[in-house]
Amino acid sequence: MGNIIKTIFVILVIPTLLSAIDIKHKDTTFSIGGRIQLENIFGWPEGSHSAKSIPLDSVGENGQLSMNARYSRIWVKAITPTEYGVARTLIETDFAGVKGTEVNTNSHGLRLRHAYTQVGNWTIGQTNSAFNAYVTLDILFTAIDDTFVRQPLVRYSYEGKNISYDISFEQPETTLIDSKGEIITPQDDVLPDIIARVIYYPEWGDVALSLMGRYIVQDHATLSDGTELNSKDTALGWATNFSTRVKTFGLDDIRLGIHYGVGMGRYLAYDAYAAGSISDTGEIKLQESYGANIGYRHRWNKKLRSTISFSYAGTDNNSDGMINLDKVNKNVHSSQINLLWIPIPHSLVGIEYADATRGVESGVESDIKMVNLLFRYDF
């Protein structure tokens, strides 16, 4: 009986205590928090809801149940008043690093998510890119066209009453697809990706627009078959990302995201598409990528809400002369619907159904259907 009480205490009370604890040292206030998250995902067939990993060769498979807590996380925040304004710092990790085996202990590795500080108008460290969509869909699986990158950066921000501006210098990483249909990373980048963003906060919702410029480089790169090139080539890429949320009836809203670019590459759909192609002689040719998502969120009441959404992403590969076209992602789309419940504050129980289709350059298309039952508690 004593053990049961202790277990209940650990599960219910400790997170509550942690959420209430601030540690003050001199002028700095430290806060400790985090998240416990359990995902229960059933997929038909086995696979993931990602533009580059929906399986193409799964005919006849009935699916798999997979449970994981690897996206649980812990963070430490610090706030210190300074002569330049409040200095705020965040270090955050989760357990989505090296994946453990499901056979015995499910020992997933720690992974750095955020490590950055904000002083005055400056942000320095690793965090979310300014190119990321400011408005995202309220769904459990991310939108299939998600524009999400987390990387080292230096950013200057200006906050107005209803508007904010950012100019961000972020880690570059060129990704190019070679004639074997493999995406390579030459690691020859010399200039940061530069992103300008404006966010407007009117009474009726939010609007954000980002514009990015990139310097794409290969300098004696190594192709996927091990060939070392004896050449250098460069190209200027650009991309734009628009997202908005418009309030409709009651607490409902409609959300929309549109992105387009030439050389957008890894910023769209978790690196499903390259920034461009690289020929066998090292010539770079950038490619167009694009995507959009739309979702309607309905609040049934204070504790229950639902979103129905559709998302799409695609690219125009320079596929002339390319082989292994089954590996070359062409487009993807997904429809999702969910029901999310807040049983107690800062908790979430949700169920979501997703039906996604992936197409590759060879013309093959494959479909995945997934259900995610999620339990989450933020402390």
Partner 1 sequence: MILKIVFTYITALFMLSGCMYKTELDIKELGHKKDVLELKSIMEEIDVVVYDNSKSELELDNVRRRYAINLAQKIKILTTKSKTISDDELKQTIAPENIGKFHKYMEELSKNGDAIYEVANNYELKKLDKKIDDMKQTCVSCHTNVRGY
Q: Least CB distance from residue 154 to partner 1, whole Å?
A: 16
Q: Least CB distance from residue 345 to partner 1, whole Å?
A: 7
Task: List the alpha helices (DSSP H) in the chain.
Answer: 2-8, 14-20
Q: Least CB distance from residue 140 to partner 1, whole Å?
A: 8
DSSP conformation class of 29: E
Q: Least CB distance from residue 133 to partner 1, whole Å?
A: 7
62: its two tokens: 């009935």
Q: Residue 208 and residue 199: Cα distance in Å, rounded?
A: 4
- H/E stretch holding 65 reads strand 64-68
Q: How many CB atoms lie within 10 A of CB 39?
A: 18
Of 325 and 342, the one with the shorter C-beta distance to partner 1 is 342
Q: How many CB atoms lie within 10 A of CB 105?
A: 8
Of 141 and 312, the one with the shorter C-beta distance to partner 1 is 141
Of 142 and 315, the one with the shorter C-beta distance to partner 1 is 142
Of 46 and 378, the one with the shorter C-beta distance to partner 1 is 378
Of 137 and 274, the one with the shorter C-beta distance to partner 1 is 137
Q: Least CB distance from residue 267 to partner 1, whole Å?
A: 14
Contact residues for partner 1 (CB under 8 A)? Answer: 22, 31, 33, 75, 77, 79, 81, 86, 88, 90, 92, 113-114, 116, 118, 127-128, 132-133, 136, 138, 142, 148, 201, 251, 299, 302, 305, 340, 345-346, 348, 378
- C-alpha distances (whole Å) from 215 to each of 189, 208, 234, 275, 342 are 8, 24, 7, 11, 45
Of 68 and 287, the one with the shorter C-beta distance to partner 1 is 68
Q: Residue 60 and residue 217: Cα distance in Å, rounded?
A: 43
13: its two tokens: 């009370």
Helix, strand or coil, per DSSP, at residue 13: helix
Of 221 and 313, the one with the shorter C-beta distance to partner 1 is 313
Contacts of 157 (CB under 8 A, 6+ apart): 121, 122, 123, 164, 165, 166
Q: Least CB distance from residue 257 to partner 1, whole Å?
A: 11
Q: Least CB distance from residue 166 to partner 1, whole Å?
A: 12
248: its two tokens: 């409709």
Helix, strand or coil, per DSSP, at residue 181: coil
